[in-house]
Amino acid sequence: MVNIGFICEGYTELFILESNNFKALLNQLGLHSVGVINVQGNGNLLPHNIKSHRENLFKKGASVIFILTDLDQDQCITKTRLRITESENQIIIVAVKQIESWFLSDNSAMNQIFQGDYSFEYPENEDIPFETIRNKYLEKFNRGLVGRNEKKRLAQKMINSGFSIENAANHPNCPSANYFLTKLKQCASIKAIE
């Protein structure tokens, strides 16, 4: 088993990384999560803010740390990666535009939620994918996701409906989820070679 750790910017990422489906994927790949740290905002992913989190995960035995963030308003993935700063044994995963675009990419989970044949051709072209899902939910059920913390509710609903990184990565137009899955597989294969 290869020990890995995660640093993420919000609760949606946290819920995904702590979901049973994700843990099963890690187990299947021969990977083990030593922990997930939610820094609560991409501004907290600056190098001076994540240094102690990285050290904490390495002390827990992580060989590699994944940092999961959104592109948000940055013009390109390279700028986002430069803002966070590359470090040894660290892989930066940037969801285009926001992590909720991965939800749009999982046709199976979306079909479960929307009770029908669902597909979204270009999930990473949506500026605010959460709003896209929220509006579709309102249109379909004549109500919102109900209450405060709608983003958290959506994340839980997606996970409870079977959302998986593999499904998102298999979407032909969701390269950021595919990149994440590819990097996880590479971590597993490096250990297999040793």
- Average pLDDT (169-186) is 96
Confidence check: pLDDT of 187 > 50: yes
CATH class of segment(s) 2-98+173-193: alpha beta
Confidence check: pLDDT of 192 > 50: no
Which has more pLDDT, 12 or 84?
Answer: 12
Question: What residue segments make up the domains of the chain, in order of their start?
Answer: 2-98+173-193, 101-160
High-pLDDT (> 70) share of the chain, % = 94
CA distance 32 to 55: 17
Q: Where are the alpha helices (DSSP H) in the chain?
A: 11-17, 20-29, 47-59, 77-84, 100-105, 107-114, 129-141, 150-160, 165-170, 175-193
pTM of the model: 0.90
Give the pLDDT of residue 75. Answer: 67
Q: How far is CA 120 from CA 84, 103, 116, 153, 157, in A?
A: 30, 10, 13, 21, 18
Give the pLDDT of residue 194. Answer: 40
Give the pLDDT of residue 146. Answer: 58
Nearest by Cα to 37 from 63, 5, 12? 5
Q: What does the pLDDT look like over 109-131, one tens digit per residue? A: 999 998 887 889 999 999 899 99
Give the pLDDT of residue 143. Answer: 77
If you average pLDDT over every residue of the chain, what do you get?
89
Least confident span in 30-34, 58-62, 86-90, 123-127: 86-90
Q: What does the pLDDT look like over 135-153, one tens digit per residue? A: 888 888 887 765 678 888 8
Question: How many other CB atoms are there within 10 angstroms of residue 160's CB atom?
Answer: 12
CA distance 45 to 76: 16
Confidence check: pLDDT of 193 > 60: no
Task: Name the amino acid, one letter, at 159.
Answer: I
Return the SS3 of 133: helix
High-pLDDT (> 90) share of the chain, % = 58
108-143-139 Cα angle (round to 5) = 60
